């Protein structure tokens, strides 16, 4: 991945005007079709407003319309800076840190934080090839049972291609009737995929879906058996939990899926040549709220 440091950000986006001009050119690379003139016309920026005006009829368009910046009074450069900060580390940053870095209120920082996370929700289906499947529990420390069946924690199911993409979804439980449909939904047809799991009983009938299925016996302290292991997906769990514990400290179950989406997005784009900040800014121009 190419480096995109703060000096590059400052050079490319020194002001709100530079950010708005970038949005305009990115969203309308072939020019703006004016519905009044019924043709592509030149549009010029109206001073002190976030809109561009048709040179003939006065029709206006806003490059921020339909994006996460829509109707926001927060300076565009602050929004761009927030995206840069959230894309700069493997585990992201917290809304509290955004507040400190940008000099905005916590309410504003939280809204920006939430909206930028929406950019990281993408569909990478279907996974294919060698796919590891596992589940984990995310939540604060509680007295009593740990691991599977622990109370007060959210269940997350993960599916990870070896050397490829990942999917992580909050699920209500680890029962067969929950996990098997998720496998069928997110993993390519059986003829092209092999599934690796641990010995959880819910996975015992994966082969009835037609997939090749190999199992590693964790209860017997077996962590690799030939090609069978779930070390890749467990590495993803480690990154997510380190991020939540060290950066966010705790996450409400209501927002957990959006946090998972942000971690998985970073994971899936870890080998991209395009810097993560640049890919997110490009998604702004193609993703509605």
Task: Return the exposure string of 206-229: e unless at least 16 CB atoms fall within 10 Å of the residue's CB, then b.
Answer: beebebebbbbeeeeeeeeeeebb
Output the pTM of the full model: 0.87
Residue-wise pLDDT tens digits, 240-259: 998 888 787 778 888 899 99
Q: Looking at domain 129-254, which of 3.40.50.150, 3.40.47.10, 3.40.50.360, 3.30.420.10 is its CATH number?
A: 3.30.420.10
Cα of 186 vs its chain's centroid, Å: 16
* Residue in the structure block whose two tokens are 């994971």: 267
Residue-wise pLDDT tens digits, 115-136: 999 999 988 879 999 999 999 9
> pLDDT per position in the chain (289 positions), as tens?
678 999 999 999 999 999 999 999 999 999 999 999 999 999 999 998 999 999 999 999 999 999 999 989 999 999 999 999 999 887 788 899 999 999 999 999 999 999 999 999 988 879 999 999 999 999 865 555 555 555 568 999 999 999 999 999 999 999 999 999 999 999 998 888 999 999 999 999 999 999 999 999 998 888 898 999 999 999 999 999 988 887 877 788 888 999 999 999 999 999 999 999 999 999 988 754 4
Give the rounded percent of residues in the chain with a pLDDT score beyond 70. Answer: 94
From the CB of residue 265, how many other CB atoms can be counted at a distance below 10 Å?
Answer: 23
- Cβ-contact 150, 135 below 8 angstroms: no
């Amino acid at each position: 991945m190419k480096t995109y440091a703060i000096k590059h950000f400052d050079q490319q986006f020194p002001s709100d005007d530079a950010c708005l001009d970038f949005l305009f050119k990115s969203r309308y690379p072939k020019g703006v079709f004016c519905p009044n003139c019924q043709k592509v016309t030149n549009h010029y920026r109206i001073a002190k407003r976030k809109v561009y005006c048709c040179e003939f009829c006065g029709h206006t368009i806003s490059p921020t319309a339909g994006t996460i910046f829509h109707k926001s009074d927060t300076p565009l450069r602050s929004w761009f800076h927030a995206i840069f900060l959230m894309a700069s580390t493997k585990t992201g940053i917290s809304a509290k840190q955004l507040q400190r870095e940008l000099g905005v209120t916590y309410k504003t920082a939280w809204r920006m934080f939430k909206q930028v996370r929406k950019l990281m929700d993408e569909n990478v289906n279907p996974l294919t090839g060698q796919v590891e499947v596992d589940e984990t529990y995310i939540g604060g420390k509680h007295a009593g049972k740990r691991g599977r069946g622990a109370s007060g924690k959210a269940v997350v199911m993960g599916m990870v291609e070896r050397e490829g993409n990942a999917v992580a979804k909050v699920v209500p439980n680890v029962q067969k009737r929950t996990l098997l449909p998720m496998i069928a939904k997110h993993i390519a047809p059986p003829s092209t995929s092999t599934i690796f799991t641990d010995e959880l009983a819910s996975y015992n009938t994966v082969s009835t879906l037609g997939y090749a299925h190999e199992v590693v016996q964790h209860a017997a302290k077996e962590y690799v058996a030939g090609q069978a292991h779930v070390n890749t997906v467990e590495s993803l769990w480690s990154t997510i939990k380190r991020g939540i514990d060290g950066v966010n400290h705790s996450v409400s179950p209501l927002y957990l899926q959006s946090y998972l989406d942000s971690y998985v997005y970073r994971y899936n784009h870890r080998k991209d040549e395009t810097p993560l900040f640049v890919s997110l800014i490009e998604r702004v121009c193609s993703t509605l709220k």
